[in-house]
Structure formats: C-alpha cells, structure tokens
Structure 1
Amino acid sequence: MPAPGLNSLGFAKPPAETRVVVAMSGGVDSSVVAARLKREGYDVVGVTLQLYDHGAALQKKGACCAGQDIYDASRVAEVMGFPHYVLDYENRFRESVIDEFADSYLAGATPIPCVRCNERVKFRDLLETARELDADCMATGHYVQRFEGAQGPELHRAADPGRDQSYFLFTTTPEQLSYLRFPLGHLKSKAETRALAAEFGLTVADKPDSQDICFVPEGGYADVIAKLRPGAAEPGEIVHLDGRRLGRHAGVLHYTVGQRRGLGIGGGEPLYVVKLDPDARQVIVGPREALAIREIPVREINWLGHAAFEQAPEGGWEMMVKVRSARPPRPARIHPTGPDTARVELLSAEEGVAPGQACVFYAPEGNRVLGGGWIHRG
C-alpha cells in the first residue's frame, strides 16, 4: 500500500494529474492495467510496440506485439477512452533481440530473448518514449512487485509464485525501477486478472496467454534460425562423453542441453545432451548424472540493491538463485570475481544448466531480487 497522502502509484498528487504510460501488448494483463488505472482516474496513455511483421515475418499466430494484438490493444483504449499509439520498433527489435538470439543459438547457447526485449526495448527505448510524453511513470502487466525500501525501490517476486516473472526482469536497473510500476504483482491468481477484465467489459477477458517466444512459432527454434541464418545448420557427430561416436546430427542448433528425446541414436542406456560444441560441430551426450553441476560461472551481472562486490565476505554471499524460469529458487553462495562477474556455488546440484540462460539472485527468504547475470561456459 502507498504511504498516506500518496496515490496508488506513489505520487503526492491526484490521479487525474498523474500521467502514466502503459505498455500494452494486446494481452489481458496489460489491458487490465490500462483499464484499471483509467477507471481510477489516471491520465493514461497506451503504447503498443510493433516488434515484427505479423503477416510476413515468421507467421506466428497468437503472439504479442503484432497483428491481432495491436488491434486488441487499440480496442481496449477505445472502450476505456484513453489515447493509444503504435510505435514501429521492428528494426530495433531485430537488431537488439532477434539477431542475438540466432547468433547465440548457433554458438551452442540457449538464449532468453524475453529478457533482452525487456532490457533493450521495453525498459530502455519505450521507457525513454514515456519520459518524452511527460509521463510520471510507466506501467506494465508483468507479474512482479515493487516496494519502496529504506534505500529506494526494490523488485520482489509476484504474490502468485506460478505467475511470477521476476526471472525475466533481472536486468532492470535501479533507475528504471524508480520509474516503473507493476499493478498486477499483488494479485493471487490469473483468475483475478480475468475477472477484472470481465468487470471492465474488455473483449480480451478470455484471450489465451501467449506461449513460448513471441516470434518463434510453436517452439520451432531451428526453423526460425534457418530463416534468419540460411545455411547455418551444418551436420556433425553425436559423441558420448567417453569418446564413442554414436551417430550424426543435422546441426547443433537442433539440440539443447538436457534434451533426451529425438537424438536418433537408437536404444541402450538413456542418454542426454550434456554439452554442445559448435566449433567442432559436436553434440556431446552422456548419462543423466552428467547433467548435474554445482558451480556456475556468471557474467554481465546487474546488481539490484546489494553491496559492492569488493565487500563480499570471504565465503561469499548466501542467497537463493534460479537457473531456469520454471524452477524454484535454490540455496547458493555467490562469489564475486569482478564488478559484473561471479562464481555461483549451488548447495545442491542442478541439472540442465545451459550457457545463455540466466542465473537470478534472490534474498535468502526468496522474494526480493538482488540481481542476476548470464550463464557462460567459463
């Protein structure tokens, strides 16, 4: 709850004098944010980013930020009576997100473009646009919570652990967090969001959630990369950890660390992809226990409200970490090795930790985000 004398967004003035830009993807979450703030009397401006050509680019049905979703966002603005703008960010999105996604996959990593989109497009370029519109803040439909702490705004996990999106927002800077608002983070379930949409009479109340990466149709990463980087899929060998050559593959980009199905190497012991070596064009496989690791090298760390790395105790900081978005935080020690690098020591081994994924740091109680970085090979 805001302090006495402040409106629900934390400003010491009436809602009607508080301008808020709402980042609208066309889905139910951001639509409810915009409608709710408008109903509360705020000066709402809706902005939707066109991130790729829905009709010609990658033929993704039901994704955000293209085609039908732009129309849906515009319709919500019309019904609720606030201005709505569509900004063409296709070039920025391709340069900042899609190109890196393709290159990372070809380098044997497992990238998370949603994080880069938040970091480089929504919370950088769009946030700057909101400032240019003289907005007091920018609101989004992300399921995270923002609290005012003793030393400034803090980023916390959503009240509903099943909807929490803090893993994807670890690159948010303290300055950005001061400007951002997340009105849905306190809700206990998605059902509450849909009930609000129905209450406001929004046609998106029953709209399905977007699935997978917005520009990747039905999880077909390899198909997308083949379009973006023609001729990039080079065949090679499937090799066991012990050196045995077990078969051939049609391209490293068709595999991810932890994969078991679709290896095409016949029966015998269950084998998993343990490592990808794009330089040697090898897919290295082994037993499940070979996937378990205890130490993770992390770089490009963004710290959110934690002490400088020089102040780390000898044994490292005790924190909780997430190495996959769908996994709960696990106990770990963070050993900083520089201003934006660290060695993460897991107290219990994790399987399927892949370069290109994020390792996000949480306070020991598991709710406040203290930072995070990108996993690399070391």
Structure 2
Amino acid sequence: MKVLAALSGGVDSAVAAARAKDAGHDVVGVHMALSRNRDEFRSGSRGCCSIEDSNDARRAADRLGIPYYVWDLSDEFHDRVVTDFVAEYQAGRTPNPCVRCNEHIKFDTLLERADALGFDAVATGHYARIVIRDDGIRELHRARDLAKDQSYVLAVMGPEKLARAMFPLGESESKQAVRNEAAARLLGVSNKPDSYDICFVADGDTKGFLERALGENPGVIEDETGEVVGAHAGAYAFTVGQRKGLRLPRPAADGAPRYVTAVDTVRNVVTVGPETLLSVRELTADAVVWLAPDVPATEPTRCEVQVRAHGSTTAASAVVSGDRVTVTLDEPMRGVAAGQSLVIYQGTRVLGQATIAR
C-alpha cells in the first residue's frame, strides 16, 4: 500500500513510519506544521509541532530513506482547534483540544490530502490497536501498553477514517521498548522527551492563555445557597471540579474545602460547594460517533465509560438515541464537566464517543 506517515518529530511517529516501511509499504513522511509562530521552539517537554520538531522529523525521514514533506496546516489548526478551544471555555464548557486535533487535523485534513494524492492509508505514532474481524468489521481497541493507550482521543475519528488508519505501535510492549527500537535503528529522537500539556499553550498556563484571548470579565463566586463568597476575573477560567485558584476570602462554615460545581458564563457566575455536590449518576452526551455497527445500543448496553484522557473507567449502561447517548453509571462519578469527551468501551474495545452536554 501507499502509506502517508505523519512525522511529528518524536520517537513514536518515527518508529511507526519505520515499521510501516518494514511491512513492505511505500511510505512517504509528512510533518504537519501547526504553529503560526515560525520562530517557535519547544520549552522542554511542553508543546509540539515546532520548528525544532520539524527538523527532527526531517532527520528521521532521512535516516529511514523515505521522502519527506512539510505541510502548513497552521490556519486549519487555528480555526478548527484553537478557536474552538477558546469558544468552548467562553461558553462555560471544558474541551479537550487533542480530541479536536485528531478529529479535524490528523484524521480529517490529513486524510483529505492523502486521498487527493492517491495514498491508501495514514500511519501515525498513536498507541492504539485496530482489530479486523473475519466479517470485515474494524474494531478500535486500547493499546497493549495500557499506560500509553491513546484510544480515548482517537475514538472521535469514526468508522470511515478508522478504515484508512494504521497504528503500528499498538502492540508495543512499552514506551521504553519503542525507545530501544529507535536507538537500534539509529534514530536521533530515541531519547527525546514526550510532549505534554496543550501544544498551543507551550508555557502550560491555560488560564493566562484564556485571559489574553478573552480579556478580564469580573464577576462573583456564589455558594450553593446563592450567597456571594468571592470574586473572579472571568468565569471562563474555571471548570467543574476545580479546587485550586478560587482565592475565597473565608473558608466554608464547616471548614471543608469547596469546589467549582457550576460555571454560568451568561450570568458570569461561578458556583462553589462541597465535594458531595460533584457526584453524578447520569450523563447525557451529544454528537455521537459510533464505531461498533454490530452493537447498535438502542437498548441499554453494558459498558465502561471514560471522561478524561488519563482517567479510569466506570461501569455503566448506555442507550443511543439518534445523535445522543444517555449513560447511567453504576457508581457516582465526580467532577464531570460539559464539553468533555465521553468514550464508551467494552473491555478494550471502543464502542463510541460523544461530547458531554450535561
């Protein structure tokens, strides 16, 4: 097959491209330049897709002996990921930009261009597995190395994009094994630190990023009874479940810590209360992406759900109705915010994904 390998400049994508080539595919490497700042460099392990990463990707492609190109997707990334991130916080929701990047950039724009150029598939360095059944159904599963599993942020891709994706690292025993393989292949990125945090907030200060984008908008903090207990510079900077950074002038009457329980950006009010108010037993999520045609879930379906990229799962029952899924949890879950990605599993298999509405 003719395979387009997305080279981020890190060790994972380099080894993924190498394995695709070893499998006999005709591989071409491409680096997606996502930053509008052409002078941007990474700060330690923060961020990605910088000039430094582009250079590392080029060196990896040279070592592998594959053609290499850089595609400027900075406008698409800004319009579809960064702008969405700011708008979601402005609406009082808590988005996951990595989910949106995978949906709109890495498996939408990239596949669109790959199609136009005659490629059969796109290979990335994500840790996840694709299982092709005897009946032809493709299943998305967690990676063998559960500590590195990225199926949570990939679930949004949908069945059509899944049919064109390759994840050569899915069966890897561990990240260290991948690094060892990169070293054996003499790839210079073998010891490069992993990137983390939000790539376009390279200093890690999400609140500061939002303040620069949206400006100050002073308002009040209320407790669960409606009493004003503090002030804030913008409700958009808070998220449900938050405890730190509230800067309340006095403690609760019982001395217990208080958490953000609601964010109302229309009234510009942040509500706080005891931890017990964070517990929920039912979730409703919209914009369902279903990856399991053999599991329609129009009746209550036993499953496990995950609402954070590195969170644990909770046993539940899910019912899909049109573009919406309702999940009833076996045990209460705390600190769930609208805008988060809800991923539905059965064991290691991903059944579907949706965006939490309430």
Work out the number of aligned pairs and report it. 352
| Matched letter for residue 262 of structure 1 | G
Counterpart amino acid of residue 184 in structure 1: L
The aligned residue for residue 7 of structure 1 is: none
C-alpha contact 2:42 2:48 (8 A) present in aligned 1: no
Tell whether the 8 Å contact from 2:36 to 2:75 is kept in structure 1 after alignment: no
Change in CA separation of 1:40 and 1:147 when aligned onto 2, cut-off 3 Å = closer
Which of 241, 245, 248 in structure 2 is aligned with 1:258? 241
Indicate whether 1:180 and 2:161 are aligned.
no
- TM norm structure 1: 0.89
State whether residues 20 and 123 of structure 2, in contact with CA within 8 Å, keep that contact through their aligned partners in structure 1.
no
Please name the residue that 1:293 is paired with: 280
Aligned to 2:298: 312
Amino acid at match of 1:127: L
User: What is the identity, as a one-letter code, of the residue corresponding to 1:301?
Assistant: V
1:307 Cα shift? 5.1
Deviation of 1:59 (Å) = 7.7
Please state how far the C-alpha of 1:243 moved relative to its aligned partner: 1.6
Do structure 1's residue 372 and structure 2's residue 356 form an aligned pair?
no
- 1:227 and 2:212 equivalent? yes
What aligned pairs does 1:109-188 form with structure 2 within 5 A after superposition? 109-149=93-133, 150-188=135-173
Find 2:314's aligned residue among 330, 336, 355.
Answer: 330
Query: In structure 2, do the counterparts of structure 1 residues 144 and 308 end up closer, same or farther at CA, with 3 Å as the change threshold?
Result: closer
The residue number in structure 2 matching 1:207 is: 192
The two structures, once aligned, show a CA RMSD in angstroms of 1.8
CA distance in 2, matches of 1:275, 1:339: 28
Q: Deviations over 1:332-372 (max 9, x none)?
A: 11122x31102111110001111110110111xx2100101
Q: How far apart, CA to CA, are the structure 1 residues paired with 2:295 and 2:141?
A: 20
TM-score (norm 2): 0.94
Alpha-carbon distance in structure 2 between the residues aligned to 1:221 and 1:291: 23
Asked if 1:28 is matched to 2:11, the reply is yes
Paired AA for residue 273 in structure 2: G
Corresponding position of 1:6: none
Per-residue deviation, residues 79-104 of structure 1 (Å, max 9, x unmatched): 22111110011111111111010010
Separation of aligned partners in 2, 1:303 and 1:151: 16
Partner of 1:216: 201
In structure 1, distance between residues paired with 2:42 and 2:158 = 33
Distance 2:313 2:222 in 1: 33
Deviation, 1:40, is 4.5
- Distance in 1 (CA, whole Å) between partners of 2:181 and 2:42 is 31
Q: Distance in 2 between matches of 1:173 and 1:164?
A: 18
Distance in 2 separating the partners of 1:36 and 1:372: 29
Q: Give the Å deviation of 1:135.
A: 2.0
> Which of 278, 284, 292 lines up with 2:271 in the alignment?
284
CA distance in 2, matches of 1:284, 1:57: 38
Deviates more, 1:56-65 or 1:127-136: 56-65
Mapped to 1, the partners of 2:319 and 2:292 lie a distance apart of 17
Return the alpha-carbon distance in structure 2 between the equivalents of residues 19 and 278 of structure 1. Answer: 48
What is the alpha-carbon distance in structure 2 between the residues aligned to residue 357 and residue 45 of structure 1?
34
SS class of match (1:69): helix
TM-aligned CA distance change 1:59 to 1:184, over 3 Å:
closer
Kindly indicate whether residue 344 of structure 2 is the aligned counterpart of residue 361 of structure 1.
Answer: yes
Opposite residue 147 of structure 1, the aligned amino acid is V
Candidates 39, 47, 69, aligned match of 1:63: 47
Structure 2 contact 42–50 (Cα < 8 Å) conserved = no
Measure the CA separation in 2 of the matches of 1:78 and 1:226.
42
Note the residue ranges of structure 1 that are not aligned, 5 or more in a row.
1-17
| CA displacement at 1:132 relative to structure 2 | 2.5
Residue 11 of structure 1 aligns with which residue?
Answer: none
1:218, distance to aligned residue in structure 2 (A): 3.3
SS in structure 2 of the partner of residue 197 of structure 1: helix
Question: What whole-Å deviation, never above 9, does each CA across 1:4-27 have from its counterpart, x for those lacking one?
Answer: xxxxxxxxxxxxxx3211011111
Q: Is the 8 A contact 1:115 1:168 kept in 2?
A: yes
Cα distance in 2 for partners of 1:351, 1:263 equals 18
In the other structure, the counterpart of 1:100 is: 84
Give the aligned residue type for 1:247. G
Counterpart of 1:194 in structure 2 is: 179
State the secondary structure of the residue aligned to 2:203: helix
Look up the SS of the partner of 2:126 in the other structure. coil
Q: Which amino acid aligns with 1:32?
A: V
User: What residue identity is the alignment partner of 2:195?
Assistant: S
